[in-house]
Structure 1
C-alpha cells in the first residue's frame, strides 16, 4: 500500500503544472523528490470509477469448483462381492461426495481395490495354512511315536487349566490358538511338569482310532470336516471343534 501511494503521488506531482497550482517553491522541491508533501497529503489511492477493476466472472456451476452433487444424486455401486459393511459403504459415499469424485470412476476403483484386497487375503491365508501344516509336520517329526499321546496330554491339560481358572475351554477357539502347534508344546510341557510321575497309560485301540480321526480332521484337507475345522466363519465350526475335543478325550 505504501509503495502504491508513493508511485501514485509521484505520478500526480510529475504531471502537475510547474507552479503547483498555487504552491510555493518549497512545495515544488518536495514534490520533485517523489515523496508526499506534508502540506498536501497524498490523495486516496482508490482508482476512479472508470478505473475500477472488472468484477470476476461468476463461477461456472459445471466447473470442478462448483458444489459437489447432492447426496440424493451421489450413489456408489456396491455389488455382492464387496467385503465391507453398510457403514463402510456410507463412509465411502460421503467421502466421494465431499471431494466431488466421479461416481462411475470411484465405484470402479472401489471394486478393483476390494478384489485386490480379497486376493491378497486369500494368498496370506494360504501361506498361513501352509506354515501351520509345516509346523505340525515338524512337531510330529520331533515327538515321533509319542506324538499322539503328547497331543492328548496337551488337550487334557488345557481342560484342567480352564477348570482351575473357572473358564470354558472354548476360550482356546476364541483366542485362535486351539490348533496351534506351539500351544500344544506349551501345554505338553506343563503337563509333564505336573503329571510326569503318573503319565497316562497307552490308549486302547478305540481311543487310538478316535484320536486318529481327530488328527485327520485337523491335518487332512480331504477330510469332510477339515474346512469347517479351520474356518471360524463356517456354520459347522463350533460343532466340528466340539467333535474334535470329544475324539481327543477332553
Structure 2
C-alpha cells in the first residue's frame, strides 16, 4: 500500500488555501499538517513539521516565497521535502526553478495538473530518491504561458520560444542529443537529458516523423505519396525530410484527413 504523504500549504490567499486543501484531501493519501499565510509563520513551523511536500506561493504579501525557501533551507528544511511553487504569474516560474523547486503549478490549475504533480512526487518517494532538482528537466515540464511561449534548455542558454519559432528538431546519434532548428535556420544543441517525449509535449504541432526528426507540422505543405517526403512551405521547401512508414501514422493522425 502506498505510504501517506504529509503536506504544508503556505499561501496568503484563504480561498486558494481552501481549494488546494480540498483537492489534496480528495486524494485520500495526503495529510495536511498545516496551512499558514505569512512567511514568518512558515519559517517557524515548516522546518519543525518536516512535511513530505511543501506547497509554497511565490507572492506572500510583501515577502517572496522564493527567498523564504532559501531561508528555510538555511534554517534546516529537510532535503527530502518536495517543494511545489504555485503562482498566478508565470513570470516567476524560472526563478522558482533556479531555487530548486521540485515542481510548480500555475493558478488557477486544472485538476489533472495537480494530479500529475502528485504522481511525480509519489513516484519519487516510492523509488526512495533523495530530492534532486534539475533545471533542464523541470523546464521541459513548464507549460506554455498565456503568450504561448515555452522554455527549453540548450547547452548554452535557456531559450524562450513560441511554437512558430521552431521549424524542426533533429537528433544526432553521434552527439546523442537533440538540436532545435529555428525558422531562421539557426540550430541550437539541446541538453543530453532532453528526450523526444519531452519535446513532443511542448506543442501539438510537434510531431515525430522519423526516428531522428520532430517536425513542426505548421510548416508542412504536403507529403509526397510513395516517397513520404515532407515538403515544407517556402522558403523551406528545399529542406529534405522524409517520414518513416512507422511514424507516418502519427503524422496522419495529427492532421485532418479528408
Q: TM-score, normalised by structure 2?
A: 0.22
TM (norm. structure 1) is: 0.22
Bigger strand fraction: 2
Greater helix share, structure number:
1
Q: Which has the larger radius of gyration?
A: 1
The one of the two structures with greater contact order (alpha-carbon pairs below 8 A, sep at least 6) is 1
